[in-house]
Amino acid sequence: MGKRLMKGNEAVVHGALMGGATHFFGYPITPASEIAHGAAQYFPVSGRCFLQAESEVAAVNMLYGAAGSGARVMTASSGPGFALMSEGLSYLAGARLPSVLVDVQRAGPGLGNIWPEQSDYNMVVKGGGHGNYKNIVLAPYSAQEMCDFTRRAFSLADTYRMTVCILSDAYIGQMMEPVELSGDMAEGKRKDWAVYGDVKSRSNLITSIYMDPQLLEKHNHQLQSLYAQVEEECVAYEPYQLDDADVVFAAYGITARICMSAVDKLRNQGVRAGLLRPQTLFPFPKEPIARAADRGAVIIAVELSNGMMADDVELAAKGQSRVLRYGWLGGVIPTVDEIVERTVRDLERGGVQ
């Protein structure tokens, strides 16, 4: 406990243990490998289970089995590995099995490279596997939040019986920062729906198959009601200099950190800029974007992708505001000056003061 210097990926492991994780099943992949390495080191000495699976497909199905028996389970990977888990994610959602998955994004498509991108947004936030399902998606922008969000993820997963995904990127996973470790170690409680192999749980059934169309439709409607409840209760974001902003950046992860510095620099130049940083990507913080749009602010979606989050920003703005899309691909990261200069240029072209 106390303050320690560590990578964001290492902070995930500490947050998981403090959150009551009991099992880690995973397969290492750059730039997320330190999570598996840390879990291999710390889980066994903490009385928890670590198992390196033979593949990402195996790992996600191990989550299914252990979660069904009441364990608090997690895995971690990067984009290519997360893609392999898509079928298992759908099964977890269909059977309503709480689990935690961390995606430390790298550039693609294909093998791409190990530099950061944010191009897994649609895969993680919009589902990824088949069927009408959602995951709760948390978006940390620091090593401290990698710890805190992972810790909180296990409580959210148990509360809503859902998969919680932590969507990070290679910069946040690899950078080293001070992380405060404090508070009590959480423990999971017995789940009345889980299968423990005892008399009390003998009648429990874990499944996602409903051969009768009406029963499957009813199950899907129940899931949609659950997701609506999550949208009401779990949305989180951080506003920065937002109250009087004429220009509002929307960004998460490493781009949010860059945009925060860009806001300060623009304000020094007389431009009233602000930042809306989603801490949850599902549920997405629609209301603060809608309020900024209603007052006529120019909204700029900044991300390391071809505009995946920007689609949600535009939906939230409801056509009431001009939405600009700033995207970088392939592991290229913008500087503060590049964002400032591009913003000033676009404002001048649009006649916005």
pLDDT at position 1: 74
Q: Domain check: are 137 and 244 in the same one?
A: no
Domain CATH for 253: 3.40.50.920
pLDDT at position 127: 81
pTM value is 0.97
Q: Domain check: are 45 and 155 in the same one?
A: yes
Domain boundary among 186, 213, 233: 233
Encoded amino acid at 197, one letter: G
Q: Domain check: are 182 and 324 in the same one?
A: no
pLDDT per residue of the chain (353 residues) written in tens, 0 to 9:
799 999 999 999 999 999 999 999 999 999 999 999 999 999 999 999 999 999 999 999 999 999 999 999 999 999 999 999 999 999 999 999 999 999 999 999 999 999 999 999 999 999 888 999 999 999 999 999 999 999 999 999 999 999 999 999 999 999 999 999 999 999 999 999 999 999 999 999 999 999 999 999 999 999 999 999 999 999 999 999 999 999 999 999 999 999 999 999 999 999 999 999 999 999 999 999 999 999 999 999 999 999 999 999 999 999 887 899 999 999 999 999 999 999 999 999 874 44
Q: Domain check: are 264 and 142 in the same one?
A: no
User: What is the total count of domains within the chain?
Assistant: 2
Q: Domain check: are 9 and 46 in the same one?
A: yes
pLDDT at position 191: 97
Backbone angles phi, psi at 256, to 5 degrees: -65, -40
Nearest CA among 99, 98, 96, 118 for reference residue 107: 118
- Residues 5, 183, 157: CA angle, nearest 5 degrees: 95
Q: Domain check: are 155 and 29 in the same one?
A: yes
Q: Say if residues 167 and 137 touch (Cβ distance below 8 Å).
A: yes
Domain CATH for 228: 3.40.50.970
Q: Domain check: are 35 and 169 in the same one?
A: yes
Nearest CA among 50, 13, 4 for reference residue 35: 13
Q: Domain check: are 323 and 246 in the same one?
A: yes
Q: Domain check: are 203 and 253 in the same one?
A: no
Q: Domain check: are 102 and 152 in the same one?
A: yes
Q: Domain check: are 59 and 171 in the same one?
A: yes
| CA 231 to each of CA 135, 236, 276, 300: distance values in angstroms, whole numbers, following the listed order | 11, 10, 18, 23
Helix (H, G, I), strand (E, B) or coil at 134: coil
Helix (H, G, I), strand (E, B) or coil at 164: strand
Backbone angles phi, psi at 151, to 5 degrees: -60, -45
pLDDT at position 350: 76
CA gap 181, 196 in Å, rounded: 32
pLDDT at position 349: 87
Domain that holds residue 199: 2-233
Q: Domain check: are 254 and 208 in the same one?
A: no
Nearest CA among 222, 223, 336, 214 for reference residue 273: 336
Domain boundary among 189, 214, 233: 233
CA gap 163, 155 in Å, rounded: 11
